[in-house]
A and B are shown apart, each in its own frame.
Chain A
Amino acid sequence: MTDVLLKIDGISKEFSTVPVLKHIDLEVMRGEVLGIVGENGAGKSTLMKIVSGIYTPTAGRLVFEGQPVEIREPLDAMQVGISLIPQEFNLVNDLAVYENVFLGRELRLRSGLLDKKRMMERTRTLLEELEVDIKPDERIERLSTAQKQMVEISKAVAMDAKLLIMDEPTTVLTQYEIDILYRLMRRLKSQGVTIIYISHKLKEVKAICDRVMVLRDGEVICLEPTGALSEVEIAQRMVGRELSQVFPPKGEPGEERVLEVRNLTVPGVLEDINLDIKRGEILGLAGLVGAGRTEVAEAIMGVRPHTTGEILLNGKKLDIRSPQDAVESGINYLSEDRQGSGILTGFSVTNNITLVSLRRYCRHFFNLIKSSDEKAAAESHRDRFNIKTQSLDTRLEFLSGGNQQKVSLAKSIDPDPVVLLADEPTRGVDVSAKQEIYRFIKSLSDKGLSCLFISSEQEEIVGMCHRVIVMKEGRIMGSLSGDEINEAEIMFLATGVRESNGSPAPVN
């Protein structure tokens, strides 16, 4: 238990000159389970991707079993005995379970042909150990998300790795499957396997890990035996940062409820979501990745099938079956996935801005577009949002991320919505663009817009919102208002340390 398996020696990583990891030193002991926790963007996944060869570090080196190792690609990591179970699945949908488990290191017969029988048998044994009922020859695409996760785990175990890295393995698992996973982890540990366990869920970290490391903004904040810290202490160390003065002063929301969501449920995704937003109010929707925040917005917009529940706008019940219905009622969505569902990179700035509201710029006759009106509208948005572009006819692919995001925001408010569902409105933009976006949203809310503000950055939730709802695993864990809104409180609810604001936990 005392010898060092992996030594991380002064590892730094920059993405286009933005430092993500700052000189990380860490010694991982043979046979321990080490928990790594931190907020979104703290650098946990980046660090593990470096260890497993997906990224190469900007500076620093890795020492494995006393030998300096160069891990330039995932294959190198596999060869020294490091195996990563990634956050996103890395399975080939069209292949069978056993083919995936042995992908890239297939067993062969002496003739050179694949030894399917032996691979199937080995896979069957692995799956039995995991106590999951999956046939080795089932195709991946027919499996549930949880089953896929179990296949991913057996794939990593099949490599007989010395170091197993698990990046948020339980996000999609039920308690039953989590218990099985814990038993497997304990068995592997007794066999001398070392495990690095990344999680947002502090209860899990407390339950399974020997030591815990807290990362914040790419730096190691603390590294202690798990027993030495309470969940609350861990949460405080994860957050602990001062609010900088980037946020405009909060406005005074009106009294009348504009949007009311009642018992919104999407089976297996969202359960019984209730919320309301007043006129001119900014309601924060916080939670960890995978908590179901984007799904709330998508369900309101009518793109989630099998949605049940009621949505009321100014007291009137709406029947929303598609984004068209939502937009016509006055509800617009700013997508978190800018390139995937927000903007068209091949369209010009003008054509993006007016895409949702195009009806306004058309004559009755044959729906001919009045291009001068369109251009005037785009110009006013460009000035108002300070969009930097060579011309309004420039295609969006030539604009920077921050300017693309401003176009995306202009596009979603050009129809003059009553309610804006802003999902990660500042994702991937620099600090000055962030500040500008905060001011736009604030000025819109001053004019009466009701805004659902979805964000993974607790800092901006605290800085922007009048009230905050915190979600975890598709459910609302509690709501905060006024002075209760701070990062620690949000983290308590998001990680499940505290179930609701009705039962305060002791805070030191």
Chain B
Amino acid sequence: MNSALSGSLRKFEYEKYASLIALVALFAIASILSPYFLQLQNVLNILRQVSYTGIIALGMTFVIISGGIDLSVGSVAAFVGAVCILTLNAILPIVGNEFLAVTLAILAGLAIASLCGALNGILITRGRIAPFIVTLGTMAIFRSLALFIGNAGEVRSNSNLFGNFGMNSVAMVPVPVFVMLILAALLAVTLNQTRYGRYLCAVGSNVRVATFSAINVDRIKFLAYTLTGFVVGVSAILLSSRFNAVSTSNMGMAFELDAIAAVIIGGTPMTGGRGTVWGTIIGAIILGIINNMLNMLGVSPYLQGTVKGLVIIGAVYIQRQRA
């Protein structure tokens, strides 16, 4: 009895660190396979590349813990990016001050993004429609709205300042990576040490128990989707700043898949009820390293999807073995 208990505890610890162990192993393999891998510039590049979907995956972690899913994140990113730049171009001549205009446009983008998430949340909680269906619908809607306001083409910003901040670094660390780490730290505390985080896990574990435990289930779920909308906004603004433009047909394509993959590889079960924020970050970085490795080894880009797919399936398979 005692040994069975401690055995299960050991299993639990292993589960907690499995994705970290995988990351370290991958890191070691990559640095052996390619001498360039460990160069600081390469590592920073990988981090920058994964930060955009990594930020989105943080919100996705919360949604998946609640027992849901959000397929609309890529479309919302394109829509918000376009709205943000169009707003910027519209108010730049009126406001005069470029810094103020950029700030206002960013705030508008974040507000719109949060509203998009809130819309998902309302439809899921008040409308009692399955999250998969709701976000499948809004995925189509926001992509189409993005194409419409951008005439299905590229939306360029008229401000150089906007194109700058996303390329800057804070103490060597690129801004998007910095933002991702700050958000991860905040959300990890929220998940593990606040009432909201505890309730989120309860809702994802068993809705009926949560309801009887005096938890406002609808509010918890609504906030998870709204939060996801907000972080999608953050990611969209950083990404459109990087190019100082938004391609309404391409931006955010397959982001939902990368984000979900990062969450799953990080060790959050698809069934919800528990999860890990730092695991998601590790999951995103694992995906980034695999891409980078395959590029450096000269593997055809067409085959990279196969490797990614195998990693996702492998990660879930290992999780199932543990459970």
Contacts and interface: CB of A to CB of B under 8 A. Distances in A.
Interface of A: 301, 303, 322-324, 326-328, 333, 335, 340-347, 351, 355-356, 358-359, 362, 366-369, 371, 390, 394, 398, 411
B109 interface: no
A341 B214 contact: no
A344 B195 contact: no
A369 B195 contact: yes
A243 to B, nearest CB: 32
A369 B150 CA distance: 46
B5 A394 contact: yes
A347 B205 contact: yes
A356 B5 contact: no
Contacts of B9: 394
Given A344-B205, A346-B205, A323 B212 contact: yes
Please indicate which of the listed interface residues A328, A341, A394, A411 has the most CB atoms of chain B within 10 Å of its own CB: A341
Given A355-B202, A394-B5, A362 B214 contact: no
A333 B194 contact: no
Contact of B209 (A342, A366, A371): A342
B198 interface: yes
A308 B214 CA distance: 21
A303 B211 CA distance: 9
Contacts, number: 74
Given A328-B214, A356-B213, A341 B205 contact: no
Given A323-B214, A355-B213, A369-B193, A341 B208 contact: yes
A356 B209 contact: no
A326 B215 CA distance: 11
Nearest to A351: B198
Interface string B207-238: 01101111110000000000000000000000
A390 B214 contact: no
B202 A369 contact: no
Contacts of B189: 368
A367 B194 contact: yes
Given A346-B274, A347-B201, A369-B195, A411 B8 contact: no
B169 interface: no
A480 to B, nearest CB: 29
Contact of B214 (A346, A356, A366, A368): A356
26 contacts: A301-B212, A303-B211, A322-B211, A322-B216, A323-B211, A324-B215, A327-B214, A333-B212, A335-B212, A340-B206, A340-B208, A341-B208, A342-B209, A344-B206, A344-B209, A344-B273, A347-B202, A351-B198, A358-B199, A366-B190, A366-B194, A368-B194, A369-B195, A371-B193, A390-B2, A398-B5
B271 to A, nearest CB: 10
Contacts of B215: 324, 355
B243 interface: no
Please indicate which of the listed interface residues B209, B213, B274 has the most CB atoms of chain A within 10 Å of its own CB: B213
A415 to B, nearest CB: 8
B178 interface: no
A358 B209 contact: no
A328 B189 CA distance: 27
B220 to A, nearest CB: 12
Contacts of B273: 344, 346
Contacts of B209: 340-344
Contacts of A411: 213
Contacts of A346: 205, 273-274
A340 B211 CA distance: 11
A342 B194 contact: no
B195 A342 contact: no
Interface in B268-297: 273-274
Nearest to A415: B214
